[in-house]
């Protein structure tokens, strides 16, 4: 019986690795290699060929440091705002029923469908010279186009769905049983949220925060249009790379690209770790 089971297991293992699965695996690995591994490898090789000292000198440049600080500031603001809006919006979409809920649910997905360049242009139409809201903002002394506040709005727009969607999925999965039990035991809505709801969505919240940070750091089109890529003012890490390439500043371009790539890989590792934690908790 044991031998029969052993032979059956070997037969199943062999059957899994027929021509079709092997071909599918090879195509997948080849595709990932061409799309992801080779470009990243080329970036690292090219950057290292310039010399670590040259890269470090380029990254110490005041323009590069300021551009990286702007990107990190935008990412930090996007994370902070989306932590609040993501959880609040998810609770509204999942725990409440109201007229227009489905329309609101669809609107949340718009940043994923609209080109970031188009997003930047729409903000210019609203807040730029001759824009619909420009007179009101001018009377208040608020400047959005070609200024940091406008870049914040654009970044918040493009990062809106990431945290909210992750929390929505978990809230729908866990249901309301635990929250109803807490309410039955006399917990207030705030106590229920803090002690029941928030702990249940903490992994999804962390996952969404990492996705938000990665998206904010990598944004280019929207911040380029609304910010104008002004050196030491509205230039971000991504637009700095663009400007460095135009100026044939290879060390600056590849150095900043390497920093962003390393940061993205770190965030990816964090996302993968949180994904395992979520599956383990489930």
Q: What would the DSSP string read from start to end of 202-239?
A: HHHHHHHHHHHHHHHHH--HHHHHHH---TTTT--HHH
Beta carbons within 8 Å of 267's beta carbon, 6+ residues apart: 210, 213, 214
**pLDDT tens-digit profile, the chain (282 residues):** 545 455 545 545 555 667 778 888 889 999 988 888 898 899 899 989 999 899 999 999 999 999 999 999 999 999 999 999 999 999 999 988 889 888 998 899 999 999 999 999 999 999 988 888 888 888 888 889 999 999 999 999 999 999 999 999 999 999 989 998 998 998 898 999 999 999 999 989 988 998 999 999 999 999 999 999 999 999 999 999 999 999 999 999 999 999 998 998 888 887 777 666 666 665
> Are the beta carbons of 128 and 134 closer than 8 angstroms?
yes
Distance between CA 46 and CA 41 in Å, rounded?
8
Which CATH superfamily does the domain covering 51-281 fall into?
A: MetI-like (1.10.3720.10)
User: What tokens were used for 43?
Assistant: 């970036």
Cα distance between residue 20 and residue 40, in whole Å: 29
Per the CB < 8 A criterion, the answer to whether 260 and 240 are in contact is no
Kindly report, as residue ranges, where domains of CATH 1.10.3720.10 are found in the chain.
51-281
pLDDT at 21: 82
Give the per-residue pLDDT at 275.
66
Nearest to 158 by CA among 85, 108, 204, 206: 108
């Amino acid at each position: 019986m044991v031998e029969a089971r052993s032979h059956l297991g070997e037969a199943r293992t062999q059957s899994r690795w027929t021509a079709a699965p092997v071909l599918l695996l090879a195509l997948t690995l080849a595709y990932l290699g061409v799309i992801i591994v080779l470009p990243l490898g080329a970036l690292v090789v090219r950057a290292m060929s310039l010399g670590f000292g040259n890269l470090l000198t380029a990254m110490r440049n005041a323009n590069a440091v300021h551009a990286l600080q702007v990107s990190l500031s935008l990412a930090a603001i996007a994370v902070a705002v989306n932590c609040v809006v993501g959880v609040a919006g998810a609770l509204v979409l999942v725990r409440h029923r109201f007229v227009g809920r489905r329309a609101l649910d669809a609107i949340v997905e718009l940043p994923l469908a609209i080109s970031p360049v188009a997003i930047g242009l729409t903000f210019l139409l609203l807040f730029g010279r001759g824009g619909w809201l420009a007179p009101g903002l001018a009377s208040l002394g608020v400047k959005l186009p070609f200024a940091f506040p406008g870049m914040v709005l654009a970044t918040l727009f493009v990062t809106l769905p990431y945290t909210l969607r992750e929390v929505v999925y978990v809230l729908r999965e866990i249901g309301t049983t635990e929250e109803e039990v807490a309410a039955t035991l006399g917990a207030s809505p705030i106590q229920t949220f803090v002690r029941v709801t928030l702990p249940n969505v903490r992994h999804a919240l962390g996952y969404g925060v990492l996705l938000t940070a990665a998206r904010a750091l990598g944004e280019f089109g929207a911040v380029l249009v609304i910010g104008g890529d002004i050196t030491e003012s509205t230039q971000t890490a991504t637009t700095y790379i663009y400007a460095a390439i135009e100026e044939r500043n290879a060390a600056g371009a590849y150095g900043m690209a390497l920093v962003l790539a390393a940061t993205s890989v770190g965030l990816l590792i964090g996302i993968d770790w949180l994904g395992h934690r979520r599956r383990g908790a489930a």
